[in-house]
Amino acid sequence: MSYIAMVLLEGSPLPVRTTELVSGFRQSAPYVNAHRGKTFVVMLGGEAISQSGFRSIINDVALLNSLGIKVVLVYGARPQINAALQQAGLEPTYHNRVRVTDDDSFKLIKQVAGALQLDITARLSMSLSNTPMQGAQINVVSGNFVIAQPLGVDEGIDYHHSGRVRRIDAAGIRRQLDNNGIVLMGPIAASVTGESFNLTAEDIATQVAVKLKADKMIGFSEIGGIIGENGDIIAELMPNAAEKIMLQLEQQPDACPGTQAFLHAAITACRAGVPRCHLVSYDEDGALLQELFSRDGIGTQIVTESAEKLRQATISDIGGILDLIRPLEQQGLLVRRSREQLEMEISQFTLIERDGLVIGCAALYPFPDDNVGEFACLAVHPDYRDADRGSILLKAVIQQARQHKYSKLFALTTRSIHWFLEQGFELLTVDDLPAQKKQLYNYQRRSKILAITL
Ligand SMILES: CC(C)(COP(=O)(O)OP(=O)(O)OC[C@H]1O[C@@H](n2cnc3c(N)ncnc32)[C@H](O)[C@@H]1OP(=O)(O)O)[C@@H](O)C(=O)NCCC(=O)NCCS
């Protein structure tokens, strides 16, 4: 019997664990909703496969599929191939950091890549009871979705069977994803001449992500992030900043190859329109889930634009705004608004969105007869306070009020008086309110009235 069923039938034998379970479910629910139906390309380098955490990663990839995320899994085999070559007494050969694949090496590479394909497929097919995969029944699909071409000859060096992506059958992959299958791709692909070529997993993952217009590309490294100057993992980087770090890493002989490969792929993918690429640790159990289903993640994201957007609200933001303001209403910090009222006023709301979630909002209510506006329903999620988001929302609303040529912006608050004073507001009395607002003033709530001249 599952733990949840046990708790439901027998009450809660371990109240603390139950609470953790329930709150964990609740906290991740907005992310489950945000990611459903999205396309993720997961790039699993050979380094990640050789670690003990590999099984958990595969289970977590299967879980993404169960949650309605469309997953393409691209695996690499660099260390496995090198080990096999060494065992066979063959020296791995590189030119300009790219493997040269002669006939003998290629025979071995095909064996290694084929064996990995079977191992990963077997793992994804597992549905034993008492495992996270119980009842999953996942279809794993592999095929000739990538068409390769030879790298050819460079500076007199023939790359033989080393190739690069020529074409991606995006429509073919889409069909499999729409059928709820996980598309599994390895580092070998066929060409139109009927030969096979050895490609890098990074090249395949990048091109697939771009051609599929994927929402995310995810890679793994030992550390699971890019380390900044202060020794902490950098949460977010734009492609240009990431490129600088990549160039620095190229000069360091001991730099982690997985990180470099990811950065190269992520920068290319982001510049070609993939909005977000995440780097997480293969050594940390559940890092992939932490990154995708918690507020701030734990790895590094390479993003085309900042994770946060300030924009006008639309009707589809109602749920997100309600999630943000309901707890504040319950604490008496904001006046209660019904869903219907919010629907009518939605065009007056400005919000800050982060990774599909509303983390801040404010409204501008017009009082055209008095030529003033009300700055209302200001809220910033508790996890994101003290980073100027409140004042960013205020500035945006002031700008809108100026466009309406209002002379003043007023606000009512019970407990954020000092915040408003620090933003340049001054205290007023009820008599200073527009007539329409004065009639509705709640003398029991006794909010303070503040205003800023525009
Ligand atoms: C008020 C609120 C929007 C501020 O959001 P924020 O993003 O933290 O604001 P900023 O980062 O721009 O400002 C932070 C500063 O204001 C201070 N501050 C935050 N909330 C405050 C409050 N309620 N009263 C007084 N000062 C406050 C912080 O201490 C910080 O000061 P510091 O810079 O000296 O450290 C946020 O606290 C909130 O959502 N509160 C609950 C809802 C509410 O009261 N809304 C206003 C009524 S309409």
Q: Nearest C-alpha to atom 9 of ligand 1 is from which residue?
A: 390
Across 44-58, 211-225, 381-395, the highest mean pLDDT is recorded for 211-225
220: its two tokens: 């793994």
Q: Give dist(CA 86, CA 19) in Å, integer.
A: 52
Domain boundaries, the chain: 29-306, 309-453
Per-residue pLDDT, 2: 40
The closest of 139, 160, 146, 301 to 219, measured between CA atoms, is: 301
For residue range 295-326, list pLDDT tens digits in order.
Answer: 667 899 999 876 688 999 999 999 999 999 99
Helices (H) and strands (E) in the chain, counts: 16, 23
Given a contact cutoff of 8 angstroms between Cβ atoms, the answer to whether 241 and 270 are in contact is no
Q: Do domains 29-306 and 309-453 have the same CATH topology?
A: no
Helix (H, G, I), strand (E, B) or coil at 94: strand
Q: End-to-end distance of the chain based on CA atoms, in angstroms? A: 64
Q: Nearest C-alpha to atom 24 of ligand 1 is from which residue?
A: 416
Q: What percent of the chain is predicted at pLDDT more than 90? A: 68
Whether pLDDT at 277 is above 90: yes
Whether pLDDT at 199 is above 50: yes
Q: How far is CA 139 from the centre of its chain?
A: 24
Given a contact cutoff of 8 angstroms between Cβ atoms, the answer to whether 411 and 376 are in contact is yes
Given a contact cutoff of 8 angstroms between Cβ atoms, the answer to whether 262 and 280 are in contact is no
Mean pLDDT in residue range 427-445: 93
What angle is formed at CA 169 by the lines to CA 163 and CA 173, rounded to 5 degrees? 115
Whether pLDDT at 3 is above 60: no
Residue whose token pair is 């009518």: 344
pTM of the model: 0.67
The closest of 42, 64, 54, 81 to 205, measured between CA atoms, is: 42
Whether pLDDT at 132 is above 90: no
For residue range 142-160, list pLDDT tens digits in order.
Answer: 999 999 999 999 888 999 9
Per-residue pLDDT, 18: 60
The CB of 328 under 6 Å from ligand 1? The reply is: yes
**Candidate CATH numbers 3.20.20.60, 1.10.4190.10, 3.40.50.2000, 3.40.1160.10; the one for domain 29-306:** 3.40.1160.10
Of 176-190, 235-249, 420-434, which range is least confident? Answer: 235-249
Mean pLDDT in residue range 171-199: 96
Q: Nearest C-alpha to atom 41 of ligand 1 is from which residue?
A: 379
The CB of 445 under 6 Å from ligand 1? The reply is: no
Whether pLDDT at 116 is above 80: yes
Q: Give dist(CA 253, CA 98) in Å, integer.
A: 16
Q: Which atom of ligand 1 is nearest to the CA of 391?
A: 12
Q: Which atom of ligand 1 is nearest to the CA of 414?
A: 47
Per-residue pLDDT, 1: 37
Given a contact cutoff of 8 angstroms between Cβ atoms, the answer to whether 398 and 452 are in contact is yes
Q: Give dist(CA 265, CA 242) in Å, integer.
A: 11
The CB of 362 under 6 Å from ligand 1? The reply is: no
For 230, list phi and psi in degrees, rounded to 5: -85, 5
**Candidate CATH numbers 1.10.220.150, 3.40.50.300, 3.40.630.30, 3.40.50.10860; the one for domain 309-453:** 3.40.630.30
For residue range 10-57, list pLDDT tens digits in order.
Answer: 334 444 556 888 888 888 888 899 899 999 999 999 988 888 888 889
Residue 447: band (very low, low, confident or very high) from pLDDT cuts 50, 70, 90: very high
Mean pLDDT in residue range 433-437: 94
Q: Nearest C-alpha to atom 36 of ligand 1 is from which residue?
A: 380
Strand 196-198 and strand 236-237: the pairing is unpaired
